[in-house]
Amino acid sequence: MRRAALTFGAWGLWVGAWALVLLIWGEATVPLIAFAAAAASAAVIAGYLALSPLESDPARTIGDTSFAPPLIGAGVVLTCNGLAFGLWLVLIGAELGAFGVGVLIAERRRARLR
């Protein structure tokens, strides 16, 4: 994991260095914020990798199929489309999404009991 952390850390430094060059050159705020955010997110991932151990694949506890992703996905898609078509579609989408989350919780509970 340390080598992976090093890769991300170095990538963050690389982007940060280019941000510094841009700052010295004198540039507007938006590009600098975008740069800094990219460098910071690389640093956060590097920190996470440095602290977390490599996982070997655990014994599989989830099934081969799941209803939750299509239900949650359809919920999100309909909710977003509801922003253009009206509250009725937002509500249908939210309901479907909530049902999907319920299915996900049930699937996870069933897997834990197995």
Partner 1 sequence: MSTVAQPLPRVGPFEWALSIDHKRVAARTAALALVFFLASGFLALLMRSELAQPGLQFVSTDTYDQLFTIHGSGMIYLVVTPLALALGLYFVPLQVGAADVAAPRLASLGFWLYAGGGFTMYAGFMTSGGAGKAGWTAFYPLSGEQASPGTGMDMWIIGVALAVSGMALVAATIMLTLLRHRAPQMSITRMPPFCWATFFTCAMTVTSFPVLVVAMGLLFADRHLGPVFDTPGGPATYQHLFWFYGHPVVYVMFFPFLGVVAEVAATFSRRRLFGYPALIISLFAFTGLSMTVWAHHMFATGQVNNQYYSLTSTSLAIPAGVEYFDVIATMIGGAILLRAPMLFALGFLSLFLIGGLTGIIVGSPPLDYHVHDTYFVVAHFHYTLFGGSMMGAFAAAYYWFPKATGAMLREWLGRVQFVLLFVGVNLTFFPMFLLGYDGMQRRVADYSPNAGLTTNNALATAGAFVIAAGVLAFVVNLVVSLRRRVPAGHDPWAGQTLEWATTSPPPRLNFASLPPIRSYAPLLDLREREERAP
- Which positions touch partner 1 (CB under 8 A)? 1, 3-4, 7-8, 10-11, 14-15, 18-19, 21-22, 25-28, 30-31, 34-35, 38, 41-42, 49, 52, 54-57, 60, 62-70, 72-74, 76-77, 80-81, 83-85, 104
**Min dist. Cβ of residue 86 to partner 1 (A):** 11
Those residues with Cβ within 8 angstroms of residue 75's Cβ, 6 or more apart along the chain or in another chain: 93, 94, 95, 96, 97, 98, 99, 100
What span, in angstroms and rounded, lies between the C-alpha atoms of 68 and 32? 40
In the complex, what is the shortest distance from the CB of residue 105 to partner 1, in angstroms, rounded to a whole number?
12
